[in-house]
Chains A and B, each alone.
Chain A
Amino acid sequence: MAEDREILREVWDGRVPVCVQLASEDCNTLSAPDPYYLMVPRLSYFPLVMDKVRKHFLRLISQDLQEAEMWLESDGMPLKWHYPVGVLFDLHCGGASLPWALTAHFSHFPEQDLIRCPTREVVESHFMSSLKEADGLKHRGQIITNMQSKDHKQLWMGLCNDKFDQFWAINRKLMESTPEEGFKFIPFRLHCPFQAPIQRLIRPLTEDGRRVTLADLLLEFLSVPSQEGDRVMIQGIEVPHDTPLQWLSEHLSHPDNFLHICYISVQS
């Protein structure tokens, strides 16, 4: 891996400002409570970073909701906690209006739209599962399988505690490749609003040795050709389409080792 710490650090430091309001139907007070303002790491997951918000609102809801699972909504859409915060932000807000306005709910859990997340261990299990899947694509799973369980725990704790060095001391092993070959496949998920993400196999190099780029991926997997005004966001920025996928995978992937690409059509 050609480690580019300058880029990795900028990606890691990504934050989104959020303004969380308690759903009026769950509020047990006469006047509307103040919203809660917070900076949330892009690379994390909402259940890992909402403890303060939950505690704040617990004082304001009825006794029978105290044990209920808190879920979040953005402009009428329930937010899927198993997507990284930054991906949800790019899909639902895109920075058009800051801070990002969210509503916290304690009742009427949308069973049709969301899976439940009763504990942090559920997030850990999802995270480790994604890591293993990504390494399966990159190295046939050989790197993650050969790691010790303390290394897995260090990756998880690095993410939870927002510790760049702790995380990357281990993650750099998962990013190893040779310049001649790159990864076996690039782990990516292509997200479009209101649709299931697209995940397919793509190699970092063509058979004649040319570097496969973001433009190649979009051309191959978007169901309709992109139009002027459409936006392709990775980590909250529009990446040049001639950027090689191997480099993107090494530097702009989320901690789950997937490159999450958000495609926002001008028509949506």
Chain B
Amino acid sequence: HSSEPWRVSVLQRLRQRHEDQIEPFSGYEEAVEGSSWAISGQC
């Protein structure tokens, strides 16, 4: 399925969703601590 046009479109739109709805709010607190999404690191 990896080259099916609908699959390519879905992945593009999911990435766009990330750019629009998540990246601009990267300073917000995570509701779930230690989530697998949050990037951990040291200052």
What residue of chain B has the Cβ atom nearest to residue A51's Cβ? B31
A38–B29 CB distance below 8 A: yes
Residue among B30, B32, B34 having the largest count of chain A Cβ atoms under 10 Å = B32
Q: How far is the CA of A7 from the CA of B29 in the complex (A)?
A: 25
Contact of B32 among A44, A95, A243 (CB under 8 A): A44
- In the complex, are the beta carbons of A236 and B21 less than 8 A apart? yes
Q: Please, how many angstroms separate the alpha-carbon atoms of A244 and B29 in the complex? A: 37
B6 touches A243 (CB 8 A): yes
Query: A15–B22 contact, CB under 8 A?
Result: yes
Residues of B within 8 A of A95 (CB): 20-21
User: Which residues from chain A contact B15 at a C-beta distance below 8 Å?
Assistant: 10
For residues 1 through 42 of chain A, which have their beta carbon under 8 Å from a beta carbon of chain B? Answer: 2, 4, 6-7, 10-17, 37-41
Q: Which residues of B approach A to under 8 Å, CB–CB?
A: 1-2, 5-7, 9-11, 13-18, 20-22, 24-25, 28-32, 34-37
Name A residues whose Cβ lies closer than 8 Å to a Cβ of B.
2, 4, 6-7, 10-17, 37-41, 44, 48-50, 52, 95, 98-99, 160-165, 235-240, 242-244, 247, 251-252
